[in-house]
Amino acid sequence: MASFKTIELPSGKTYEQPLGLFINNEYVDSSSSETLTAYNPATGEEICKIQQACPKKDVDIAVAAARKAFPIWHNIPAVEKRDLFFKLADLVQENKQILAEIESLNSGKPIEQNAKYDIDELIGVLKYYGGWIDKLNGKSFIPSDKKICYTYHQPLGVVGCIIPFNYPLAMMSWKWTSIACGNTAVFKSADQTPLSTLYFAQLVKEAGFPPGVFNVVSGFGSTVGDALVKHLGVDKIAFTGSTVVGQMIQRNAAVNLKPVTLECGGKSPIVIFDDCDFDQAVKWTACGIFNNMGQICSGTSRCYVQDTIYEKFLVELAKHVKENYPIGDPNDANVVVGPQISLKQKERVGKYIKSAIDEGCRIILGGEGLPEEIVSSKKLSKGYYVKPTIIADITPETTVSKEEIFGPVISVGKFSDYDQCLELCNGLDYGLGSAIFTQDITRAINFSKNVEAGMCWINSSNDVDFNVPFGGVKMSGHGRELGEYGLSNFTNVKAVYINLGQKL
C-alpha cells in the first residue's frame, strides 16, 4: 500500500506527491501514524502531511533492504553501475522543471534564480561520480622480487545519509558518492523538506537501479535520524547539518564504532584589503551570503574590511544588494531572495538582528520586520521573509560576530593590518570557508595557508566545483565531500601481502 496526494503547484501544474517511504524501489506506507507537516515557506500554508517512518520498525526494514541489496549492487560490473548513474542523471534532466518546482514549493527557493541550479547540481554530481565508478583503483607495492602487496578499496556496506533543509536535493546528491563506491544507502531527508527526495526516488527505479540500493525514510532527527545513527546494521553515517547535531551524532555512532563524516555549521570570514578590485569585492561579498536566503553552510557571513575603505565599502555593498537582490515570490523569475525555511528560522534570524542593535551595531541595510513588498501582498504576508541585512561595527564580543545566523545577514567589522585580520578570522571554533580580496599574491597565499578553514577563496566566495573537496576543520566537521577525496569517505582499504618466496 502506498499513499499519494495530488498537489497543485504555483504554476498551475499538478503532480502526485508520494507521502510514505521508499524502500526496495517501492513507495510504501509507514507503520507509524505520526506525520510531518510540509509547509510552503512563501505563504505559510500547509502543503501536505508526510508519513514519518517508525523509528524502530521502518528503519529496520529500510536497513534490511539496503543490507540485502549490498552484495548485489557491489558485484554489478563497474561500467554497468556507471551507466545507471548516467541514466539517472538523464532522467533528472528530463524532470528538471517539475523537480525545481517541487523544491521551490517546499523550501522557498526562487525557481529560476535558485532551485534550478540545485537540479543542475544534482545532475552534475551524478555524472561526476558516475564517471569515477570504473576508475576506482587500489595501489600496488613491489618492495622486492620476493613480495608484492596491493590494496583493495572496498565498500563499507550500508550507509545512513542525513540531509539538511538548505539544499535538499543538492546535499542528497553529494551523498550519492556512497552509492558510487558500491555501498547501499538509507537517506533521511530534513523534516522541513521531505517532498523532493521522495519524488526523485521513482527516477532511481526508472533508471534501473536494483531494489534496496537507495531507500528514503522521512521523519524528525531526534527519532528517525537517531535510529539510523544508533543502528547496528548501519556501517557509516554521512551527515550534513548543524554542529550541535553533529556532536550528538559522533557520540551516538560509537555504539558500533561506525565512522562518521560531519559537514557542520560555519561562520566563514571574508576579508577585504584596500588594494583589492573594489567592484568585484562588493559583488562577491554579496553573493557569498545573500544567495539561498543566507542559508549557506559556507556562507561568508563575517566580513572584515580594512579601515581605509570601511565606510565606502559599506555604502557600495548596500547599494549593490538593494539593486541586485530583490525579495519576493519564489515564482517570480526576477526574484533572488525568497523566504527562510520556517517560521522558527525567521524568528531566530530576527532575534539576531535585534541583538546586534541592542549591542550597539549599525544597521546599514534591511533590519527587523517584513519588507514592504511582502507586507502589502495578500499572498505572501504570512511567508517567512527576512530582509537582506547588513550589520556594521561588529567587535569580537558581538553575538552576530560569533554565532551562525543562517539567514540573509552579513556582519561587518574593520581591521587595520594583516596580523589583526588573521587573528579575527581564526578566533572562532568554526572553520569551514574563508575568503580574501587583495591584489597582493604573497598576502593572499599566506592567508590561504594560515587561515583555519577547510576552504579558502582568493578573490571570490563560495565558488564550489565538483572536482574540489568541500568540508571543514575544527567544529565545522571532518571528512571531505566532492572531488576524488570525497570517495575516501565510503571505502575501507584492505591490504593484501603476496609472498613470492621469502623463506623463514
Minimum separation from the CB atom of position 21 to ligand NAD (A): 15
Q: Tell whether residue 103 is a contact of ligand NAD (CB under 6 A).
A: no
Q: Tell whether residue 162 is a contact of ligand NAD (CB under 6 A).
A: yes
C-alpha–C-alpha distance, residues 365 and 318, integer Å: 6
Q: Tell whether residue 294 is a contact of ligand NAD (CB under 6 A).
A: no
C-alpha–C-alpha distance, residues 245 and 299, integer Å: 19
Strand segments (E) across 274-408:
302-306, 362-365, 389-392
C-alpha–C-alpha distance, residues 437 and 273, integer Å: 6
Beta bridge partners of 158: 184
Measured between alpha carbons, how far apart are the two ends of the chain, in Å? 65
Site string for ligand NAD, 388-407 (x = CB under 6 A): ----------------x-x-
55, 194, 266, 388: residue in contact with ligand NAD (rule CB under 6 A): 266
Nearer to ligand NAD, 248 or 374 (CB): 248
Q: Are strands 269-272 and 435-437 parallel, antiparallel or unpaired?
A: parallel
Minimum separation from the CB atom of position 460 to ligand NAD (A): 18
Nearer to ligand NAD, 10 or 259 (CB): 259
Beta bridge partners of 45: 40
The letter for the amino acid at 220 is F
Q: Tell whether residue 316 is a contact of ligand NAD (CB under 6 A).
A: no
**Residue among 275, 294, 287 at smallest CA distance from 340:** 294
Helix H or strand E encompassing 284: helix 278-290
C-alpha–C-alpha distance, residues 110 and 103, integer Å: 9
Q: Tell whether residue 264 is a contact of ligand NAD (CB under 6 A).
A: yes
Q: Tell whether residue 265 is a contact of ligand NAD (CB under 6 A).
A: yes
Stretch that binds ligand NAD, among 13-21, 183-191, 358-366, 493-501 (CB under 6 A): 183-191
Q: Residues with Cβ < 8 Å from 77, sequence gap 6 or more?
A: none
* Strands laid side by side in the 409-415 sheet: 362-365, 389-392, 409-415, 302-306, 269-272, 435-437, 457-458
The residue whose grid cell reads 517508525 is: 54
C-alpha–C-alpha distance, residues 388 and 373, integer Å: 13
Q: Tell whether residue 35 is a contact of ligand NAD (CB under 6 A).
A: no
Minimum separation from the CB atom of position 114 to ligand NAD (A): 15
CB 164 within 8 A of CB 189: no
Q: Tell whether residue 249 is a contact of ligand NAD (CB under 6 A).
A: yes
Residue 263 a catalytic site member: yes
Q: Tell whether residue 195 is a contact of ligand NAD (CB under 6 A).
A: no
Q: Tell whether residue 198 is a contact of ligand NAD (CB under 6 A).
A: no
Nearer to ligand NAD, 53 or 203 (CB): 53
Catalytic pick among 263, 316, 404, 481: 263
Largest CA distance in the chain: 87
Q: Tell whether residue 329 is a contact of ligand NAD (CB under 6 A).
A: no
Q: Tell whether residue 475 is a contact of ligand NAD (CB under 6 A).
A: no
24, 166, 291, 434: residue in contact with ligand NAD (rule CB under 6 A): 166
Catalytic pick among 297, 361, 421, 425: 297
C-alpha–C-alpha distance, residues 391 and 413, integer Å: 9
Q: Tell whether residue 435 is a contact of ligand NAD (CB under 6 A).
A: no
- Judged by the rule CB under 6 A, the positions of this chain that interact with ligand NAD are 162-166, 171, 188, 190-191, 220-222, 225-226, 229, 240-242, 245, 248-249, 263-266, 297, 404, 406, 432, 472, 477
> Active-site residue numbers?
263, 297
